[in-house]
Amino acid sequence: MGRRESARERAFCSPEFFAEELALARERAGLSQGDLAQLTHCDRSLISRIESSDRVPQEDFVRACDRLLDTDGRLLRFWRRVPWHQDFERPDGFQRFFELEAAATMHREYHVSLVGGLLQTPDYAHALFTRNALMPDQDLIEERMRVRMGRQRRFLEDPNGPMLVVILSEAVLRRTIGGPAVMTGQLRHLLDVAQRPNIVLQVAPFSLAERTPVNTSMTLITLPGGQEYLYSESLGTGHLINDDHTIAMHARRFDRLRGDCLSAPDTARLVQRILEGLLNQEPEDLPVLRPTNQIVLPRQQRRPVPRSSTRLRLRRGRPGPEQ
């Protein structure tokens, strides 16, 4: 008959619980983190990160620990009960992401719909913060602006700052945020920052079509010790992943996408063309928001209003916040 699990083993396990059990088993065996690292053929820093619940241990590692620490398969049973990826893709991933970003030596970003926060102008960021707010909280907006602009300093003010590699979908450049004037300033900013020695900007053109490997934005973060994290967002939730296999898969996709993207010089030329298109727009060609019950015909299709004793007055709709 197989061994029956205790109530403790049947209970829900968290990464912190597993980390504590591993550390206790190691200490009971009289081993230091360095000793266990030597026996499992890995770096001591990996043991430290696993015991601080900052790294997802691989199954082979856990099996080896069970054998070396004489825990009768208990660590593996705990390991299998931890919802590793559910826990590391946690709602507070935003805060953890900011902490990692502040220590990163390299950022690799891919954005499908908006310019990433590290390269946004104040006007572009302000337009994003206010676009869905009927009664915006100005104090909250100012605080968010302060945080966003502060995050940029490490990358934009120091030429020897962290490496920032950014891929933008062409749709990002052609999506007007905040109106033509705001978008003009944003495109000029992209051309400027792309000249910095620690920043590489490339565009994934529409012509890539199905060769674009991912359809969501993502960020790959590299820390001073070489440890990597993957970050993405969905429905207002930040997902921070530190599973080696998942990170390696997305890193390969990112590298392949870079190879298919426009080169840095070709990217600059495309941004310049789109910028010139915005600058050449005449006021009468710019979109005007109208009430939904009005149909606005092109200028050449409009008919003159016949003169009569009753004059028809047309109300002009006010431009929206993004115009």
Mean pLDDT, range 298-314, rounded to an integer = 41
Q: Are 171 and 203 in contact (CB under 8 A)?
A: no
Same domain, 123 and 79: no
Predicted local confidence at residue 87, as pLDDT? 40
Q: Do residues 46 and 37 touch, judged by C-beta distance below 8 A?
A: yes
Q: Residue 290 domain-assigned? A: no
Same domain, 63 and 185: no
| Same domain assignment for residues 97 and 56 | no
Judgement on whether residues 148 and 184 belong to the same structural domain of the protein: yes
> What pLDDT was estimated at residue 85?
52
Tens-digit pLDDT profile for residues 33-90: 999 999 999 988 889 888 887 777 888 999 999 999 999 999 998 888 876 654 444 4
294 falls within a domain: no
Question: For position 305, what pLDDT does the model report?
Answer: 41
Burial (CB count within 10 angstroms: exposed 0-12, middle 13-18, buried 19+), residue 254:
buried
Name the most confidently modeled range: 47-56, 125-134, 221-230, 298-307. 221-230
Q: Which of 85-99, 132-146, 164-178 has the lowest mean pLDDT?
A: 85-99
Res. 163: pLDDT tops 90: yes
Is residue 121 located within the same domain as residue 223? yes
CATH number at residue 211: 3.30.870
Query: Is residue 293, in this structure, part of any structural domain at all?
Result: no
Please give the Cα distance from 133 to 116 (Å, whole number).
20
Same domain? 31 vs 158: no
Q: What is the Cα–Cα distance from 61 to 99, expressed in whole angstroms?
A: 28
| Mean pLDDT, the chain, whole residue set | 80
Do 145 and 122 form a contact (C-beta atoms < 8 A)?
yes
Q: Exposed, middle or buried: residue 29 (CB in 10 Å: 0-12, 13-18, 19+)?
A: middle
Q: Are residues 17 and 98 in the same domain?
A: no
Look at residue 162 and tell me if it is in a domain.
Answer: yes
- Judged against a pLDDT cut of 70, whether residue 317 lies above it is answered with no
Q: Which of 34, 54, 88 is the last residue of a domain?
A: 88
How many domains is the chain partitioned into structurally?
Answer: 2
304, part of any domain: no
Q: Tokens standing for 213?
A: 């490997």
Range of the domain at 150: 93-279
C-alpha distance from residue 139 to each of 135, 136, 143, 144, 151 (Å): 12, 9, 6, 9, 19
The predicted model gives 191-197 an average pLDDT of 96
* Boundary of a domain, candidates 42, 58, 88: 88
Tell me the pLDDT band of 31, cut-offs 50, 70 and 90. Answer: very high
Q: Which helix (H) or strand (E) holds 203?
A: strand 199-204
Residue 10: both structure tokens together: 């049947």
Element (H, E) at 108: strand 106-111
Which residues does 36 contact at the CB level (< 8 Å), separation at least 6? 26, 47, 65, 68, 69
Please check whether residue 184 is in contact with residue 134, taking contact to mean a CB–CB distance below 8 angstroms. Answer: no
Query: Could you tell me if 19 and 118 lie in one domain?
Result: no
Q: Are residues 18 and 154 in the same domain?
A: no
- Whether the CB-CB separation of 188 and 271 falls below 8 Å is answered with no
Whether 184 is covered by a domain: the verdict is yes
Query: How many CB atoms are closer than 10 A to CB 166?
Result: 25
Using pLDDT thresholds of 50, 70 and 90, give the confidence band for residue 155. very high
